[in-house]
């Protein structure tokens, strides 16, 4: 995990997002690159003078937001003594990509050439990170996403919970997390009764991890009238975990939007960093 991408914009979780990225980067001497994340600008009718004036205002606001994002990102890195990187620098460093287009789709496409994208946990408030940004990264980058919690974490990847449900998505997320799992002091493979799909058991995954030198323990938990997502987060809190590994959207997005689901609950409620992949 030597190359991390941090889309940067003014929202309530940006400090936590940067702190989470830096915690991960310190583990692997990573390069952290930021860019200004801006919603796509709708095209206004060029012939309408009112629309043209509005478009000019929007573009000016867009440029101002990009400058603020860069100042925030670079100021954070410099205040923590992180050096600016260059082509020959393979140690902990940062850089800024100044040619990013607007729109969330760029998060997914550019993320393909990084090991991981770090984003804040989405919320419903106007100043919260946007769900569309996260989904662009999850579905278009082909890479994992590290989701920062509302409060900046103090630790990352020392005590890890794998939310095992036997699915392809969870297997992929676990594979992406192997560099972190290999450095963890404790790894718990948690299966919630009734929250699985046909596939290998948690004990089988734990044996695979043990063969790779990872101190994994398989645990099965009864939901006790909770949803699977609630049971996972309760167990993570009880164990003092500092990272959750979760495959995203084993059920379809539409079904989860209508009926709810484990991914949706974790995205709405997690108070610890979550590594997700689809």
The whole-number pLDDT of residue 257 equals 47
In terms of residue numbers, what domain contains 184?
159-277
Within this chain, do residues 7 and 136 fall inside the same structural domain, yes or no?
A: yes
Residue 196 belongs to domain with CATH number: 3.40.50.620
Within this chain, do residues 81 and 144 fall inside the same structural domain, yes or no?
A: yes
Within this chain, do residues 67 and 179 fall inside the same structural domain, yes or no?
A: no
> pLDDT per residue over 221-262, tens digit each?
999 999 999 999 999 999 999 999 999 886 554 444 443 488
Within this chain, do residues 10 and 143 fall inside the same structural domain, yes or no?
A: yes
The 3-state DSSP composition of the chain as helix, strand, coil percent (nearest 5) reads: 40, 20, 40
Within this chain, do residues 165 and 211 fall inside the same structural domain, yes or no?
A: yes
Within this chain, do residues 143 and 163 fall inside the same structural domain, yes or no?
A: no
- Low-confidence residues in the chain, pLDDT < 50: 43-47, 253-260
Within this chain, do residues 41 and 65 fall inside the same structural domain, yes or no?
A: yes
DSSP 236-251: HHHHT-SEEEEES-SS
Sheet arrangement for strand 243-247: 93-97, 31-36, 3-8, 116-120, 145-148, 274-277, 243-247, 159-163, 186-192, 216-221
> pLDDT per residue over 158-193, tens digit each?
999 999 999 999 999 999 999 999 999 999 999 999
Contact 54, 26 (CB under 8 A): no
Residue 5's alpha-carbon distances to 110, 149, 270, in angstroms, are 9, 17, 21
Q: Is residue 154 part of a domain?
A: no
Contact 226, 234 (CB under 8 A): yes
Tokens 């460093």 locate to 93
Within this chain, do residues 142 and 163 fall inside the same structural domain, yes or no?
A: no
d(CA 239, CA 237): 5
Residue 199 neighbours by CB under 8 Å, 6+ apart: 165, 166, 167, 168, 171
Query: Domains in the chain: how many in total?
Result: 2
Distance of CA 24 to the CA centre of its chain: 12
Within this chain, do residues 14 and 127 fall inside the same structural domain, yes or no?
A: yes
Tokens of 63: 């440029």
Domain termination residue (choose one: 114, 148, 182): 148
Q: What's the pTM value of the predicted model, to 2 decimals?
A: 0.90
**What's the whole-number average pLDDT of the chain?**
90
Helices (H) then strands (E): counts for the chain:
10, 10
Q: Is residue 153 part of a domain?
A: no
Q: Is residue 264 part of a domain?
A: yes
Within this chain, do residues 17 and 133 fall inside the same structural domain, yes or no?
A: yes
Within this chain, do residues 24 and 127 fall inside the same structural domain, yes or no?
A: yes
The whole-number pLDDT of residue 251 equals 56
Within this chain, do residues 208 and 243 fall inside the same structural domain, yes or no?
A: yes
The whole-number pLDDT of residue 57 equals 66
């Amino acid at each position: 995990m030597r190359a991390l991408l941090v889309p940067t914009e003014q929202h309530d979780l940006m400090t936590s997002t940067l702190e989470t990225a830096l915690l991960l980067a310190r583990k692997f001497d990573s390069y952290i690159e930021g860019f200004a994340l801006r919603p796509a600008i709708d095209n206004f009718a060029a012939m309408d003078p009112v629309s043209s004036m509005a478009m000019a205002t929007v573009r000016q606001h867009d440029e101002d937001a990009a400058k603020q994002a860069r100042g925030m990102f670079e100021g954070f890195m410099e205040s923590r003594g992180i050096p600016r990187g260059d082509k020959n620098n393979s140690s902990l460093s940062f850089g800024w990509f100044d040619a990013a287009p607007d729109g969330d789709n760029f998060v997914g496409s550019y993320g393909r050439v990084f090991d991981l994208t770090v984003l804040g946990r989405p919320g419903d408030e106007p100043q919260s990170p946007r769900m569309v940004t996260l989904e662009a990264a999850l579905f278009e980058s082909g890479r994992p996403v590290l989701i920062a919690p509302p409060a900046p974490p103090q630790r990352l990847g020392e005590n890890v919970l794998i939310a095992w449900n036997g699915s392809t998505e969870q297997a992929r997320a676990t594979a992406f997390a192997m560099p972190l799992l290999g450095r963890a002091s404790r790894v718990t493979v948690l299966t919630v009764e009734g929250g699985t799909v046909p596939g290998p058991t948690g004990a089988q995954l734990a044996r695979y991890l043990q063969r790779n030198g990872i101190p994994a323990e398989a645990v099965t938990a009864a939901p006790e009238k909770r949803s699977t997502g609630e049971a996972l987060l309760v167990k993570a809190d009880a164990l003092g975990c500092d990272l959750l590994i979760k495959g995203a959207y084993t059920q379809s997005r539409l079904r989860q939007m209508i009926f709810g689901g484990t991914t949706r609950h974790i995205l709405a409620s997690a108070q610890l960093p979550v590594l997700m992949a689809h």
